[in-house]
Amino acid sequence: MPKARIVVVEDEPAIRRGVSDALRLTGYDVTEAPDGVIGFAEASGNGVDLVLLDVMLPKRDGLDVLAELRRVCPLRPVILLTARGSEEDRVRGLKMGADDYVVKPFSAKELLARVEAVLRRTMKPVPKWISIEVGTAIIDLDRREVRWPTAERIELSETEAAVLKHLIENRDRAVSREELLGRVWGIGTAGLETRAVDMHVARLRAKLKDPSGSDDTPEAIVTVRALGYMAGPGLVVREGK
């Protein structure tokens, strides 16, 4: 299973820090939000695999965030974190679309078990790739190189290979620059310059072009206006079991 990206929306600093640290130590990619407004912005972004959402939040109530999240991201998994432990509250949250409900105080062990259970149900398995081709070349992501029939080998940087891998893993949709910053560079996206992503994609495109100068190969990476980038028709992925 690929490393999941989890957004933790919790206004209590100690609880937020404790939950986030436990998730990071387990290997998850974690983004934190201290209130409902920032929480919704982070939780509704691209590339989020799970949201841990406190119910009682400043600026915007957690259940309001959940309702809006269900409207814009209907399939995004959400686990509610709350001190409201009554049956009525639990039922209300689940009826609004929450995937699970954890009542405070909870142990890190219990929370991690629930996170793993929800992710098992919702995350797509990573397919096994037999080969990745662009035109007449074979792309070897493990060796980080593009091999052409002329025996010419073009080396990919670690970041270029990671960008290409993420685009291929999500080739059914456009991937935003912000998502690439979070997933490939491992940094938050608020207020950051995304030109670094464009520069890496430009270099990657150049390396995926036929060195003979032929223009017959379909584009390997396409730009989707106002959205980001997407694996193009030039990338042929052959999968096996």
d(CA 30, CA 50) in angstroms, rounded, equals 10
pLDDT on residue 125: 63
Residues of the chain below pLDDT 50: 1, 189-191
Q: Quick check: bond before 2 cis, omega within 30?
A: no
Task: Return the CATH architecture of domain 5-122.
Answer: 3-Layer(aba) Sandwich (3.40)
pLDDT digits over 154-179, tens only? 999 999 999 999 899 888 888 888 77
CA 157, 230, 224: angle at the middle one, nearest 5?
125
pLDDT on residue 1: 46
d(CA 237, CA 135) in angstroms, rounded, equals 12
Amino acid present at 231: A
Class of residue 116 by CB neighbours under 10 A (exposed 0-12, middle 13-18, buried 19+): middle
Task: Compute the radius of gyration of the chain from its Cα atoms.
Answer: 21
What class, spelled out in words, does domain 128-240 have in CATH? mainly alpha
d(CA 27, CA 10) in angstroms, rounded, equals 20
pLDDT on residue 190: 47
Per domain, the residue ranges of the chain are 5-122, 128-240
Q: 197-233 burial string, b = 16+ CB within 10 Å, else e?
A: beebbeebbebbbbeeeeeebeebbbeeeeebbbbbe
Q: Indicate yes or no: pTM above 0.85.
A: no
